[in-house]
Amino acid sequence: MTIIKQSFTTALLVAVLAVLAPQLSLAQGAGVRISPAVIEETLDAGERKTYTIEVENLNQTEQQYFLFTRNISGVADGGAPIFADSNLDQTGYELADWITLPFGDITLAPGARQSIDFTMDVPGDASPGSHFGGVFVSAEPPKMENSGAAVGYQVANIVSIRVSGEAIETASIRQFSTGKFLYGSQNIDFNVRVENNGNVLVRPSGPLEIFNSLGRKVGDVTFNEDRAGVFPGQTREFTDLQWLGDAVGFGRYEAVLSAVYGDDGARKTMSSTVTFWVLPISIIGPAAAVLGVLLLATIIGVRIYIKRTLAAMTNGRRLARRKQPSSSNTLLLVVALLTVLALFLLVMLVLFA
């Protein structure tokens, strides 16, 4: 028998949902704590196993707590699990009915703790893949809590059981984008949406590499470093990705996300690419001013050249103009040089960092 025991402190507020949402805690409320916060294991269909949880009264008075189970029907934006309103809600990934609690309520003295053994009975016909639920500890009876009249508090742990058998691990990147197309500095935020089309929880992670317009790698970050999970049949959004470059940065950039998921020995990959621009105003401003001056000078030069050429042709001076130093030819050369310089500066603005 495997008994999972673990002590938790205030840090649980940022680490309890390591299975579904590592950044959110449900294992400790205003007046009660339940541990372990996460139970995760692989069991065979038809297998029975006993687990132990510990409930602690954080109040300064004696308190009665009610115990019940709930299925997890999905994951909300930000990764928080969505507990089903009723165990009658079927998702195909439920397990609340597999859990047998020894009793429905306990009474604890101030600061007291009590260990509770519960049994997990996996049905013989349970479908392979991941199944999710939780054990709740509530200050109000479940019926009152379901009626919406509850004024107490409740906490829950996460129970994730993977049933042995043919698992379908299929995930894809549905969206990989930046918050904006144009940035003023190398301070880039990325958004990733991963869809899980399989029947088991997946935890995609991997490098996100950034390349400049010359193809040189200039930075990288780790996608899903905490290995948060994506619920089967759902899409999860990851918004906590940010790249802070150590240079001024200029031009077009490309970010390549290469994530892996799956069991060891059967790892799968998925990738996606997004482009963005970094145009600092400290560079763009002076460059645009110079380019504007060059373009204006070119336009004025062309107008003067055309005017002089038409005047010379009208007065019949083409032959004399060939014998004398031609100011018009000089002006044409200046205009051509200005045009080439303006085009060169424009290309530099577009292509090079």
Greater model confidence, 246 or 341: 246
- pLDDT recorded at residue 135: 93
| Cα(79)–Cα(201) distance, integer angstroms | 13
At 227, the pLDDT band (50, 70, 90 cuts) reads confident
- pLDDT recorded at residue 262: 85
- pLDDT recorded at residue 347: 61
Does residue 330 sit in helix, strand or coil?
helix
- pLDDT recorded at residue 78: 62
User: Cβ atoms within 10 A of the Cβ of 69, count?
Assistant: 22
Whose structure tokens read 């059967």? 266
CB within 8 Å of 298: residues ≥ 6 apart: 335, 338, 339, 342
| Cα(352)–Cα(347) distance, integer angstroms | 8
- pLDDT recorded at residue 185: 87
| 244-to-44, 187, 239 alpha-carbon distances in Å | 46, 5, 15
Instruction: Give the residue-averaged pLDDT of 146-169.
Output: 74
Q: Read off the pLDDT of residues 75-117 as tens digits, 9 standing for 90 and up.
A: 776 667 788 776 566 677 889 999 999 999 999 999 999 999 9
| pTM for this model (two decimals) | 0.63
Question: In degrees to the nearest 10, what's the CA dihedral of 178, 181, 185, 186?
Answer: 40
CB within 8 Å of 67: residues ≥ 6 apart: 101, 103, 104, 105, 106, 116, 135, 136, 137, 138
Does residue 137 sit in helix, strand or coil?
strand
| Cα(47)–Cα(279) distance, integer angstroms | 60
Q: Read off the pLDDT of residues 197-222 as tens digits, 9 standing for 90 and up.
A: 988 889 899 999 999 988 999 999 99
- pLDDT recorded at residue 87: 59
Q: Read off the pLDDT of residues 228-275 as tens digits, 9 standing for 90 and up.
A: 888 888 899 998 899 998 877 788 999 999 999 987 777 899 999 999
Gap between the terminal Cα atoms of the chain: 61
Instruction: Give the residue-averaged pLDDT of 112-127.
Output: 94
- pLDDT recorded at residue 304: 76
Greater model confidence, 152 or 260: 260
